[in-house]
């Protein structure tokens, strides 16, 4: 059987790029009078999202 072959430099580069976080977009939202925010977005299959809220 032997050992698996070492990945090429191109394959290593592709793996490293695919493991990075991707910015899906930025959006300014408005808070309603009761303090609620409603928004929607689409995640890729098996995706995870980080939503960062900042108050100014």
Distance separating alpha carbons of residues 11 and 17, to the nearest angstrom: 10
Taking 90 as the threshold, does the pLDDT of residue 8 lie above it?
A: yes
The pTM for the full model equals: 0.44
pLDDT recorded at residue 16: 94
d(CA 46, CA 3): 31
Distance CA 15, CA 34 (A): 45
21-45 residue pLDDT tens: 878 777 778 888 898 888 888 888 8
Closest CA to 55 of 24, 23, 31: 31
Distance CA 39, CA 10 (A): 39
Question: What's the CA gap between 28 and 55, in Å, rounded?
Answer: 11
């Amino acid at each position: 059987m032997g050992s698996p072959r070492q990945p090429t430099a191109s394959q290593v580069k592709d793996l490293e790029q695919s493991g990075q976080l991707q910015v899906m977009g930025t959006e300014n939202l408005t808070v309603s009078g009761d303090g609620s925010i409603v928004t929607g977005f689409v995640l890729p299959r098996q995706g995870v999202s980080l939503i960062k809220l900042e108050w100014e």
